[in-house]
Amino acid sequence: MCTLVGQKAPQFTAEAVINGGEFVDDFSLTQYIGKKHVVFFFYPMDFTFVCPTEILAFQEKLAEFEKRNTVVVGCSVDSKFSHWAWLQTEKNKGGIMGVKFPLVADFAKTIADNYGVLAGEYDYNEQDESVFIGAPVAYRGLFLIDKNGIVRHQLVNDLPLGRNVDEAIRMVDALQFFEENGEVCPANWHKGDEGMKATSDGVAAYLSKTK
């Protein structure tokens, strides 16, 4: 696993399901470069347990991301047909009906691998047979990508640990605050709080206000 922060987000063209049920064969994040910030997140697998709680939580806060000119895109190693079926399944039956943001199909596992979140790897056993060691799914990785296509924030959780969507929104706010004001965001910063100048005098001035 590696960090992508400060680097260009790995690009891809893949099948996806958008708007809750439309197939797209050539979905790419490049469509957002120069236009929007992107929260690109991986989840292990459709029709599982923690995953729908996260996906539905992102959908519930989708308007908050849109207010910030930010798109949310999910991705797992499932096929587009699995995504579509899950999107057509009612919530009380374990589905995610009503989710509108894109779900990318990483059936070949290459996107997860390029982003460093594949929970295992291919190798050879003693019989020289190709085997997969680990779990052939993605960790719960999340990447905040700016308008230039640069990864500015990265978070990776192990499979049992669900993410906090409000924290993802906070990180979007922090990045946009920095971009707009040129000031950095101290610990526990939230939208509406003061930032500080990235100088020794700026730090001293900020800390003097917090005493």
- Give the residue numbers annotated as catalytic, written as ranges: 51
Sign of CA dihedral 27, 31, 35, 37: positive
Dihedrals phi, psi of 119, to nearest 5 degrees: -85, 40
Residue 203, C-beta contacts closer than 8 angstroms, at least 6 positions apart? 196, 197
DSSP state of 28: -
C-alpha distances out from residue 32 to 37, 58, 70, 149, 191, Å: 7, 19, 9, 8, 24
C-alpha distances out from residue 119 to 43, 60, 105, 124, 199, Å: 11, 28, 17, 17, 40
Strand-pairing partners, residue 124, are: 130
Closest Cα to residue 140, out of 75, 79, 85? 75
